Amino acid sequence: MAMRQTPLTCSGHTRPVVDLAFSGITPYGYFLISACKDGKPMLRQGDTGDWIGTFLGHKGAVWGATLNKDATKAATAAADFTAKVWDAVSGDELMTLAHKHIVKAVDFTQDSNYLLTGGQDKLLRIYDLNKPEAEPKEISGHTSGIKKALWCSEDKQILSADDKTVRLWDHATMTEVKSLNFNMSVSSMEYIPEGEILVITYGRSIAFHSAVSLDPIKSFEAPATINSASLHPEKEFLVAGGEDFKLYKYDYNSGEELESYKGHFGPIHCVRFSPDGELYASGSEDGTLRLWQTVVGKTYGLWKCVLPEEDSGELAKPKINFPETAEEELEEIAAENSDSIYSSTPEVKA
């Protein structure tokens, strides 16, 4: 029986959403952080999209955001020439790391002791978060502004991307191991630890490379310019989104397009699978985040599969199941924390 994809829409941002990241799976579930040009990164419950809090402190657009594995720390990269590290539980700002230009990318090591940053000054910086007063280590070599910077190979190596180049660096020697050159601008880069896979998008292409050697694995062509792509944790599916407002889902092994959905009202800037692979999130020029089911119709999070009457002739469709007290609880939380990081409560709706 055919099922209709019904995304959850998470509003609250007032400008384009340009980056998002999930935490690992914790005893409290998993979490989602979003970076936005409104300068106010938001933290949400990952499986439902429920708003938890807003990190207030940046004075410019936030271009990058990340959470550590256990969702106890967050980091953000902004146009105010700073990267900030936050306590993701209390929302408190832990430190501000001054840069000489716009910061675009942040990433924690697995033990959360070091933060990698990259930005418009073409330098990679490594900060020891246990010694915030110490000068960061710097790696030079990029010839244009850095868009993305990621730890890989159990933090022994670093991946970074500028306009048309992806570079692999050795952490111990701080030297370049290898680079990839593209004939058009690299729009996104995702690293998959399980399998050491690197997902790169440029133009209409979605390319997969070995994160260890940068050797090509495979690539797909999409019908439109792609801004971001994400690989399912089990490497079964691939999702991508871009300039035509649509999300595309592909079979990773065959490259066959399985589904495509138009839900946003602007170009899609970022897509990511959740750590359990049950959903994927997308952020758009329209200022919203949307959560989509990997397997449409499955009861999960706020989605509850409700079958119609047998003789009604209607298609089965998922029903969004909201807890009755959710809205009241969010209002109470907002009231209790009116003087802290929590601002007015964004909505989560179908």
For residues 281 and 290, is the Cβ–Cβ distance under 8 A?
Answer: yes
Neighbours of 237 (CB within 10 A): 21
**194 and 81 within one domain:** no
Distance (Å, whole) CA 277 – CA 295: 10
For residues 88 and 75, is the Cβ–Cβ distance under 8 A?
Answer: no
**201 and 121 within one domain:** no
**37 and 121 within one domain:** yes
Q: What are phi and psi of 334, to 5 degrees?
A: -60, -40
**262 and 149 within one domain:** no
In a domain, 147, yes or no: yes
| Eight-class DSSP state of 315 | P
**280 and 177 within one domain:** no
- The secondary element (H helix, E strand) that includes residue 253 is none
**241 and 128 within one domain:** no
**251 and 158 within one domain:** no
For residues 237 and 252, is the Cβ–Cβ distance under 8 A?
Answer: yes
Q: What are phi and psi of 335, to 5 degrees?
A: -65, -40
Domain boundary among 295, 310, 330: 295
In a domain, 302, yes or no: no
The sign of the dihedral angle between the CA atoms of 240, 243, 244, 246 is positive
Q: What is the largest CA-CA distance in the chain?
A: 71
- Quote the pLDDT of residue 308: 58
In a domain, 307, yes or no: no
In a domain, 204, yes or no: yes
Distance (Å, whole) CA 159 – CA 166: 7
Long-range CB pairs of 307-310 (<8 Å, 24+ gap) are 307/1
Length of the chain: 350
In a domain, 10, yes or no: no
Distance (Å, whole) CA 57 – CA 76: 10
Distance (Å, whole) CA 240 – CA 242: 7
- The secondary element (H helix, E strand) that includes residue 334 is helix 326-336
> pTM of the entire structure?
0.87
For residues 219 and 226, is the Cβ–Cβ distance under 8 A?
Answer: no
Q: What are phi and psi of 271, to 5 degrees?
A: -135, 145
pLDDT in tens, the chain (350 residues): 467 888 999 999 999 999 999 999 999 999 999 999 999 999 999 999 999 999 999 999 999 999 999 999 999 999 999 999 999 999 999 999 999 999 999 999 999 999 999 999 999 999 999 998 899 999 999 999 999 999 999 999 999 999 999 999 999 999 999 999 999 999 999 999 999 999 999 999 999 999 999 999 999 999 999 999 999 999 999 999 999 999 999 999 999 999 999 989 999 999 999 999 999 999 999 999 999 999 998 999 999 877 655 444 444 444 444 443 344 444 443 444 434 333 433 444 44
CATH of the domain at 271: 2.130.10.10
- Quote the pLDDT of residue 307: 64
In a domain, 227, yes or no: yes
- Quote the pLDDT of residue 323: 41
Domain boundary among 135, 162, 181: 181
Domain boundary among 181, 203, 218: 181
- Quote the pLDDT of residue 263: 83
Strands 303-306 and 51-54: unpaired
Query: What is the extent of the structural domain holding 64?
Result: 16-181
Residue 90, both tokens = 């209390």
**45 and 148 within one domain:** yes
**80 and 106 within one domain:** yes
Give buried/exposed letters for 67-94 (b at 16+ CB in 10 A, else e). bbbebebbbbbbbbbbbbbbebeebebe
**165 and 243 within one domain:** no
